[in-house]
Homo-oligomer: A and B are copies of this chain.
Amino acid sequence: MPDLYDVAAIGNAIVDVIAPATDAFLADNRLDKGGMMLVDAAQSAALYARMAAGVETSGGSAANTIAGLASFGGKVAFMGKVADDKLGEVFTHDMRAGGALFENAPLVGGPATAACMINVTPDGQRTMSTYLGASVALTDDDIDQAVVEAARIVYLEGYLFDAEAARRAFAKAAGFAHGAGRMIALTLSDGFVVERHRGGLMGFIETQVDLLFANETELCALFETDDFDAAAALLRPHVKLAAVTRGAAGSVIVSPQGVIAVAAEPVEKVVDTTGAGDQYAAGFMFGLSRGLPLAQCGRLASLAAAEVISHYGPRPQVSLKDFAASKGYL
C-alpha cells in the first residue's frame, strides 16, 4: 500500500465547551481537578447550567492530535462517530477543514454528539466532564481497512477502552495495520481509564502497540506505583517505543537505545492545559512519520504542547509547521 496518510486515528468525536472556573466551583460540583469524568445527559445539562459562559470548539483527544498533525503539514485521517446534529456538523467541518479525511456516517436517531465540559482554573489546569453521546456508537464497522493500511502510524485513543464495541474496533484496526506492516500507537488518555482497564490495556500494549504515549499519572497507574522512575523502568521491557510527559518537567522518550530526556518548551503564561498531551503526540508522530531522530521528535512534541497551553482550546491557533520552522526545529 502507498503511504497515503502519515497518521490515521481512531477516537471519540467530541465538541468541547471551555469556560473559566474557580477551585471552589470544582469543589462545589465534586469535580476532580485535572481529571476526566464521564457524565450522563442529565448530569451534563445540570453542570452546563452552572458553568460560566464558554467557548465551543471541536475536541476529542485523538481528533485534537489529528488537527495538530494537519497543522504541521501531515496527511491525516480520523475515524469516530458524531450524531446528525449541529455539534456533529461543527466537528465534521473542523476535521475536514483541517485537511483530514473523515468519512464515518453520522449516527441517526440516537444520542447527541458527544460534548466535553472543560472547566479551566486560573492556574491553567483543565477539569473535564464528558458526555459521550454518539461517540460510543463507534463499532468495528466504522474502521476503514484501506485507510488503516495506507497510514504510516495508526493512533488509538485510550479513552475508547471504556466501550466494548470500540475495543473490538481497535482490535480490528490493529489487525489490518500489522497485516500491512504499519505501526500502532496508543495513548493511555487518563489515569482512571488505566485503573479501569489495567489488564486489558497491558495485554493490548504487549501484543499490539509499537508506540505508547502516557503522562506521569497514567504510567504510574499502569504499574501501580507512585515512583515515576520505577514505572519507567517497568515499562521498558513492554514497549518498543514510548513517550511519557511530565508537564513542566518535560518528557522522556523510552526506546531500545535508551532513555532520552526532553525539556519542556518555555511558555510565557499557561492559559489552559487542555490538549497539551494531544499536541505533544501530534508533534512526536509528525517527526516520526518523517523519519526524524527521536530527540527532534521530542522537540516538535514539546513545541506543539507549548503552543496549545498558551491559549484557550485544545487545537493549535497557529501553523505548527511555520512555528516549528521559526524555531529551527524543522
Point out residues on A near B: beta carbons under 8 Å.
Answer: 19-20, 48-49, 51-58, 67, 85-87, 90, 93-95, 97-98, 311-313, 315, 317
Copies of this chain, whole number: 2
Supposing A48-B93, A86-B87, A311-B311 touch, asked if A55 and B57 sit within 8 A by C-beta, the answer is: yes
Which residues of B lie under 8 Å from residue A48 when comparing CB positions? 93
Assembly CA distance A52 to B95 (angstroms): 9
Which residues of B lie under 8 Å from residue A98 when comparing CB positions? 52-53
Which residues of B lie under 8 Å from residue A317 when comparing CB positions? 20, 312
Of B53, B57, B67, B315, which one neighbours A94 at CB under 8 angstroms? Answer: B53
Assembly CA distance A4 to B282 (angstroms): 51
Assembly CA distance A158 to B56 (angstroms): 27
Most B Cβ at <10 Å: residue of A52, A55, A85, A94: A55
Q: Smallest CB-CB separation from A115: which chain B residue? A: B86
Assembly CA distance A153 to B57 (angstroms): 34
Assembly CA distance A87 to B17 (angstroms): 12
Assembly CA distance A97 to B313 (angstroms): 19
Assembly CA distance A313 to B54 (angstroms): 11
B51, A97: Cβ atoms closer than 8 Å: yes
Q: Give, as a whole number of angstroms, the nearest-CB distance from A286 to chain B.
A: 17
A56, B311: Cβ atoms closer than 8 Å: no
Q: A53-B94, A54-B94 are in contact. List 12 more A-B contacts (CB 8 A).
A: A52-B97, A53-B67, A53-B97, A53-B98, A54-B57, A54-B97, A55-B57, A55-B313, A56-B90, A85-B86, A311-B312, A312-B317
B53, A58: Cβ atoms closer than 8 Å: yes
Q: Smallest CB-CB separation from A71: which chain B residue? A: B53
- The 13 sampled A-B contact pairs (Cβ below 8 Å) are A19-B97, A49-B93, A51-B97, A52-B97, A52-B98, A53-B58, A53-B95, A53-B97, A53-B98, A53-B315, A55-B313, A56-B56, A312-B317
